[in-house]
Amino acid sequence: MDFELNENQTMFRNMVRDFAKLHIAPIAHEMDVKGDMPDTLIAALREAGFFGLTFPEAYGGMGVDTITYGVVVEELSKASAGVSVMLTVHNSVGSYPVALFGTEEVKSRFLPRMAAGEIAAFCVTEPGAGSDASSLAATARRDGDHYVLNGSKSFVTNGARAAFYVILAREPGTHGNKGTHAFLVERDTPGLSVAKKEDKMGLRASDTAVIALDEVRVPVGHRLGEEGAGLRVALTALDGGRIGIAFQALGIGQACLDASIAYAKVREQFGQSLASQPVIAHKIADMGTELEAARLLAYHAAWLKDQGRPHTREAAMAKLMASEAAGHAADAAVQIHGGYGFCKEYDVERYYRDVRVTRIYEGTSEIQRLVIARKLLAGQ
Ligand SMILES: Cc1cc2nc3c(=O)[nH]c(=O)nc-3n(C[C@H](O)[C@H](O)[C@H](O)COP(=O)(O)OP(=O)(O)OC[C@H]3O[C@@H](n4cnc5c(N)ncnc54)[C@H](O)[C@@H]3O)c2cc1C
């Protein structure tokens, strides 16, 4: 058992740390206030290859392993979780279904464009279908060599900026797990539009939109996987996506810990630093311990994925544990900062808002527990 990052992984971590310090951290507060991300930052991310991290080298990507990817996501999330979610959705659920289930023609046409920085999004959630994706209502009607898509997709990360959407819809008249298809749809396809941008509590640098589908014609060749395999495509992508969200939560949690240690050392009350007061020191110990436990789960899930082994249970465990540990860390960080932690001048105020959604998206904590319990009860 080896707990060290290898030379390549360490090099990536240092490179991303430097990039984040130079390009992201200085504008993280401004992006949060404005609820936007400047095009110059997206251009710099493109230039540095962040949009092709997980893509196979044959399609213009860097083909990094999942542990390296996790290290990158954690580093980015320390600087801005809004930036990291844009990249994690693009590098996992937005593109992985294409790499895994697309035809060779679709892969060679679209993956190089995505790897070069044309942004990808993932559209499963609907107004009436959240945790229960099998209740989705968007339809895909077959019409000759096309499908015609109708419906509405909610909470689409990268919705307003994306060039490509992985969209789940069902054969009219089907119900539940049956009859769902996944498609790759290009942004300029007539009938696809951004209906609304959400005004969110956190991750404000990232755009989250409602996507309307009105008679959107998609070539049959752009279906990802077999007929009726839509939910399987989505759930397979989510196993990998959840590992990314675990690392995102770890990054935010680690930023909370780092800020708390720095603050506790300099802030004095009752004639001594906060750090030397046992109650505060214990909070710091708990933050560090929970985050480290979650980090080991996340590395294990990433390692399993890299070995090509089943990782549904481990990805759910990592996401559950990391998002809850990071939530505790954010709460403790605000507490350690006292009244200043409640003010926007201090980064922990943003971390506290940003971390909340890691317990909600790509499956809520309740759904992760259902997934884990199902696996354990089946003896897996
Ligand atoms: C910022 C943001 C970005 C997102 N990005 C994307 C994206 O890119 N693509 C996409 O498709 N979706 C995206 N989502 C949607 C996200 O995945 C859903 O919000 C999430 O799956 C929960 O669905 P819901 O909001 O409809 O809540 P609901 O499913 O209505 O759940 C409400 C509450 O009930 C609980 N609950 C539901 N069923 C059960 C059960 N059986 N047992 C116990 N508790 C249960 C849930 O855990 C939750 O606490 C995003 C959401 C947000 C907020």
Residue 1's pLDDT is what?
82
Which residue's CA is minimally distant from atom 32 of ligand 1? 131
* Claim to verify: residue 105 and residue 14 sit in the same structural domain: yes
Q: How far, in Å, from the CA of 126 to the mean position of ligand 1?
A: 10
Q: Does residue 123 have its Cβ closer than 6 Å to ligand 1?
A: yes
- In terms of residue numbers, what domain contains 50? 7-115
**How far apart are the C-alpha atoms of 67 and 45, rounded to whole Å?**
20
Q: Are residues 289 and 212 in the same domain?
A: no
Tokens 């819809």, residue located: 169
What would the pLDDT profile of 235-287 be if each residue is shown by its tens digit? 999 999 999 999 999 999 999 999 999 999 999 999 999 999 999 999 999 99
Question: What pLDDT, on a 0 to 100 scale, did the predictor assign at position 196?
Answer: 97
DSSP assignment of 57-82, as one string?
GGGTS----HHHHHHHHHHHHHH-HH
Q: How much is the pLDDT for 88?
A: 96
Q: For residues 208 and 159, what is the distance between their CA atoms, to the nearest angstrom?
A: 6
324 plus 350 within the same structural domain? yes
Domain final residue pick, 176, 205, 228: 228
Q: What is the CATH number of the domain that holds 189?
A: 2.40.110.10
Closest approach atom of ligand 1 to CA 123? 11
Report the distance separating Cα 329 and Cα 332, nearest Å. Answer: 5
Nearest atom of ligand 1 to the alpha carbon of 159: 8
Q: Which of 213, 209, 211, 294 is nearest to 246 (CA)?
A: 294
Q: Report pLDDT for 2.
A: 85
Ranges in the chain, pLDDT < 50: none
Q: Tokens for 92, please give them.
A: 């996992």
Residues 155 and 202 reside in one and the same domain? yes
Residue 72 lies in a domain: yes
CATH number at residue 88: 1.10.540.10
Counted domains in the chain = 3
- Mean pLDDT (the chain) is 97
Any domain includes 184: yes
Distance 363 CA to ligand 1 centre (A): 6
Contact (Cβ atoms closer than 8 angstroms) between residue 126 and residue 151: yes
Residues 159, 291 within the same domain: no
User: Does 84 reside within a domain?
Assistant: yes
* CB of 160 closer than 6 angstroms to any ligand 1 atom: no
Residue 1 lies in a domain: no
Q: Are residues 17 and 59 in the same domain?
A: yes
Q: Residue 362 catalytic? A: yes
User: Is 186 found in the same domain as 298?
Assistant: no
The CA distance from 89 to 208, in Å, is: 11
| Rounded distance between C-alpha atoms, residue 127 and residue 107, angstroms | 30
Residue owning tokens 């959407």? 165
Distances (CA, A) of 79 to 13, 18, 73, 333: 13, 11, 10, 16
Helix and strand totals (H; E) in the chain: 12, 9
Q: Which of 167, 198, 228 is the last residue of a domain?
A: 228
d(CA 283, CA 280): 5
Comparing CA positions, the residue from 58, 79, 52, 99 lying closest to residue 240 is 99
Distance 144 CA to ligand 1 centre (A): 35
**Together in a domain, 78 and 206:** no
Q: Residue 286 has what pLDDT?
A: 98
With a 6 A CB cut-off, is 81 part of the ligand 1 pocket?
no
pLDDT value at position 145? 98
Q: Give pLDDT, residue 96.
A: 96
The single residue of 57, 75, 362, 366 carrying the catalytic annotation is 362
Give the end of a domain, one of 82, 115, 148. 115
User: Which is the closest atom of ligand 1 to the Cα of 157?
Assistant: 8
User: Atom 30, ligand 1: which residue's CA is nearest?
Assistant: 130
Q: Is the domain of 237 the same as that of 372?
A: yes
Q: Is residue 169 part of a domain?
A: yes
Residue 104 pLDDT: 97
Shared domain check, 240 and 220? no
- The verdict on residue 82 lying in a domain is yes
3-state SS, residue 181 = strand
Two structure tokens written together for 76: 């980015």
pTM (2 d.p.)? 0.97
Pocket test for ligand 1, best of 125, 213, 252, 368 (most atoms within 8 A of CB): 125
Residue 11 belongs to some domain of the structure: yes
Q: Is residue 2 part of a domain?
A: no
